[in-house]
C-alpha cells in the first residue's frame, strides 16, 4: 500500500469498479474521559450504489444500548451526491468534514437540530499509517490509521461538553460486503503524543492473536510483530471489563497495556455486533485512554450470550 496522499481525502470513484459493495469509510473518535464520555463521527459511502450512511454516537456510563445512550444517529441509505467531495463535505447524514491540511488537520461538525451539535478539530500527531500486514479483518481494503489531538465541544440539548483529548481516526476504501465472517477486535490506546498503540486481532483456535498493529514509544513508531489480547468479560452483560495487550514490535520493544472499561456502547453494524468500550489504560507504565471494539458475527454473539445466561 502506498502512503496517504491529498487525493485520498476524497472519494475514489475511479477505483470503485462496478461492484455495488465497494465502500469508503471515514471514522473519527473523541472522548472526555473525566465525564466517562466517548463519541464517534462515522461516514460509510457506497458510490456505486449512490448511497451514504452513518452519523454520530455519543455515550457515557449511564446506558449502553444505541437507543438509550446520550445520542445516536446512524442513517442507513441517504443519497450520495455524485459531485460530493469528502475533503469538503456537508453530508446528508449531518456530518461535515473539511480537510484543512490533507492527511493531518480536519475540521469536523455534526448537526441535528437542538438535539446534538458537534464542532471539533482533529490535528494528527503522525502521518496516516497504512495497514502493512495481511490477515486483518479489513481484507483487501485500503486502510489507514492515525492518532491525533481533538479539541472543540459537543452540545447535547442545553448541555455543552468541552472536548480536549487524544484519539484515533481511520480511513478506508475497497470491497466491503454486508458481512463480517470472523470475530476480531480493534484496540487503541494513547498515553501521550509520544506513546500510543493500535492492535487489530483475529482468532486462531482458542487464542486471540494480533494480526496487525503498531506502537509509538518515546516518539518512535514501529509495527507490532506478534502478541495477543486477553479479556475478562462481565458475567451478566458479556462485554469486556478488563483487557490485557501483550506484544512486541519490530524493534524488539515490549508492549504491555492493561485496561478497564469506564463506559461503552453496543451497536449492530450490518451483520456483526460491535461492543465498544471506552478504556482507561496503563500503557508501558503510563496512564492513558482509548477504545476496545469487540466485534462478533451476530449469530456468534447470540450463541455466546445465551450460553452465558444459562450459567448465571
Average pLDDT, 10 consecutive residues per value, the chain (312 residues): 89 85 94 98 93 97 97 94 91 97 98 96 97 60 94 96 98 82 92 97 88 96 96 96 98 98 92 95 98 95 93 77
State the cell numbers at 185: 477486535
Domain boundaries, given as residue ranges, for the chain: 20-311
pTM: 0.95
- Local structure of residue 141 (DSSP, 8 states): S
Q: Which cell numbers in the block locate residue 163? A: 472536548
Pull the grid cell for residue 20: 455495488
At 311 the three-state DSSP class reads: helix
pLDDT of residue 42: 97
CB atoms under 10 Å from CB of 226, counted, come to 11
- Compute the chain's Rg from CA coordinates: 18
262 within 8 A of 290, measured Cβ to Cβ: no
Amino acid at each position: 500500500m502506498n502512503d496517504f496522499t491529498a487525493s485520498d481525502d476524497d472519494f475514489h470513484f475511479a477505483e470503485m469498479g462496478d461492484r455495488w459493495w465497494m465502500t469508503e469509510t471515514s471514522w473519527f473518535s473523541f472522548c472526555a474521559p473525566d465525564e466517562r464520555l466517548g463519541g464517534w463521527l462515522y461516514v460509510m459511502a457506497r458510490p456505486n450504489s449512490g448511497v451514504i450512511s452513518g452519523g454520530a454516537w455519543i455515550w457515557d456510563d449511564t446506558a449502553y444500548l444505541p437507543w438509550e445512550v446520550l445520542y445516536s444517529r446512524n442513517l442507513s441509505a441517504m443519497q450520495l451526491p455524485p459531485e460530493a467531495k469528502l475533503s469538503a463535505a456537508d453530508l446528508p447524514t449531518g456530518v461535515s468534514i473539511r480537510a484543512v491540511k490533507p492527511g493531518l488537520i480536519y475540521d469536523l461538525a455534526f448537526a441535528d437540530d437542538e438535539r446534538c451539535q458537534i464542532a471539533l478539530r482533529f490535528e494528527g500527531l503522525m502521518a496516516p499509517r497504512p495497514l502493512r500486514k495481511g490477515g486483518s479483518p479489513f481484507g483487501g481494503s485500503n486502510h489507514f490509521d492515525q492518532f491525533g489531538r481533538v479539541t472543540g465541544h459537543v452540545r447535547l440539548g442545553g448541555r455543552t461538553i468541552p472536548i480536549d483529548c487524544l484519539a484515533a481516526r481511520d480511513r478506508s476504501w475497497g470491497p466491503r460486503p454486508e458481512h463480517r465472517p470472523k470475530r476480531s477486535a480493534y484496540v487503541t490506546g494513547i498515553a501521550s503524543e509520544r506513546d500510543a498503540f493500535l492492535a487489530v486481532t483475529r482468532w486462531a483456535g482458542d487464542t486471540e492473536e494480533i494480526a496487525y498493529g503498531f506502537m509509538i514509544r518515546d516518539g518512535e513508531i514501529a509495527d507490532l510483530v506478534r502478541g495477543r489480547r486477553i479479556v475478562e468479560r462481565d458475567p451478566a452483560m458479556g462485554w469486556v471489563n478488563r483487557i490485557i495487550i501483550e506484544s512486541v514490535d519490530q524493534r524488539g520493544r515490549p508492549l504491555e497495556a492493561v485496561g478497564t472499561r469506564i463506559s461503552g456502547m453496543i451497536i449492530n453494524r450490518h451483520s456483526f455486533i460491535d461492543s465498544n468500550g471506552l478504556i482507561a489504560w496503563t500503557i508501558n507504565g503510563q496512564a492513558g485512554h482509548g477504545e476496545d471494539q469487540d466485534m462478533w458475527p451476530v449469530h456468534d454473539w447470540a450463541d455466546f450470550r445465551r450460553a452465558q445466561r444459562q450459567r448465571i
